[in-house]
Chains A and B, each alone.
Chain A
Amino acid sequence: MGQTGTLDKAATAAGRLILEAMGEERPARSLSRLSDSPRSVRLLRELFTVAVRRSFVGRDPRDITRYARDLLEYQALPAEGELARETEAMIRGAIGEPELAHGVPELRRFELICHVIGDLTRPPGVPAAELFALVDQAEKRVARFDRPRNRVVGRRSM
Chain B
Amino acid sequence: MSKNRRRPTRHAEIAEQVADVPEAQPAVDAARSRRRSARPDDFTEQSAEQSAEQLAGAAEPQPADAGRNRRRSARPDPAAEQRAATGDRPRAEPTRTVGALSGQLPPGTTRQAGEIHTDAGRYLRQAARDDAPARYGTPAGDVDESARRVWEIAFGLVVRRRFEPDSPLAEISRTVALAVHEHASAALPMLDAEMLVRHALGEIVPIGDIDGGIRLAVHLLLFASIADELALGEQELDAIIADAEEKADALVPA
- B4 near A85 (CB under 8 angstroms)? no
Q: Which residue of B lies closest to A86 (CB)?
A: B191
Scoring A68, A69, A84, A85 by chain B CB atoms within 10 A of each residue's CB, the highest score goes to: A85
Asked if B35 and A74 sit within 8 Å, CB to CB, the answer is yes
B141 touches A (CB below 8 Å):
no
Contact among B3, B35, B203, B209 with A62 in the assembled complex (CB-CB below 8 Å)? B203
Which residues on the A side are within 8 Å of B71 (C-beta)?
none
In Å, the complex CA distance between A84 and B208 comes to 10
Q: Tell me whether B206 and A85 are in contact (CB under 8 A).
A: yes
- C-alpha spacing A79/B209, complex, angstroms: 11
CA distance A81 to B5 in the complex (A): 24
Task: Tell whether, in the assembled complex, residue A79 and residue B35 are in contact, meaning their CB atoms are under 8 Å apart.
Answer: no
A63 to B11: give the CA distance in the assembly, Å.
Answer: 11
Which of these binds chain B: A10-18, A32-40, A97-105? Answer: A97-105
Question: Does any Cβ of A come within 8 Å of B192's Cβ?
Answer: yes
With A70-B11, A85-B195 known to touch, is A100 a contact of B5 (CB < 8 Å)?
no
B2 → chain A, closest Cβ, in Å? 8
Give the segment of A1-9, A119-127, A138-146, A148-156 that binds chain B. A119-127
A66: interface (CB < 8 Å): yes
- Complexed CA–CA distance, A130 and B4 (Å): 14
Contact with B along A17-48 (1 / 0, CB 8 A): 00000000000000000000000000000000
Give min CB distance, A48 to chain B, whole Å. Answer: 13
Chain A residues positioned under 8 Å from B4 (CB to CB):
55, 67, 119-120, 125
Say if the beta carbon of A106 comes within 8 Å of chain B: no
Interface size on A, residues (CB 8 A): 37
Within 8 A of A (CB), among B157-190: 169-170, 173, 189-190
Instruction: Please name all residues of chain A whose beta carbon is closer than 8 Å to the beta carbon of B33 when the two chains form the complex.
Output: 74
Confirm or deny: B8 has a beta carbon within 8 angstroms of a beta carbon on chain A: yes
- Is A70 in contact with B7, judged by CB distance below 8 angstroms? yes
- Report how many A-B pairs have Cβ atoms within 8 Å: 72
Would you call B208 and A80 a contact (CB within 8 A)? Answer: yes
Asked if residues B35 and A82 are in contact (CB atoms below 8 Å), the reply is: no
Closest to A78 in B: B208
Assess whether B7 is in contact with A120, with CB atoms less than 8 Å apart.
Answer: no
**B38 proximal to A (CB < 8 A):** yes
B209 nearest in chain A by CB position = A81
Please give me the residue from chain B that is nearest to A119 by CB atom: B4
Chain B contacts for A73, CB-based, 8 A? 35-36
Chain B residues contacting A82 (CB-CB under 8 Å) are: 206, 209
Smallest CB–CB gap between B192 and chain A, Å? 7
Q: Chain B residues near A66 (CB, 8 Å)?
A: 7-8, 11
Shortest CB–CB separation between residue A122 and chain B, in angstroms? 8
Report yes or no: A65 in contact with B205, Cβ–Cβ below 8 A: yes
Against A, the Cβ 8 Å flags (1 = close, 0 = not) of B79-105 are 000000000000000000000000000
Q: Which residues of A contact B207 (CB under 8 A)?
A: 80-81
Residues of B within 8 A of A (CB): 1-5, 7-8, 11, 33, 35-36, 38-39, 43, 169-170, 173, 189-192, 195, 203, 205-209
Closest 5 CB pairs of A and B: A125-B3, A84-B206, A74-B35, A81-B209, A80-B208
Give A contacts to B, CB under 8 Å: 51, 54-55, 59-63, 65-70, 73-74, 76, 78-85, 88-89, 97, 99-100, 103, 119-121, 125-126, 130
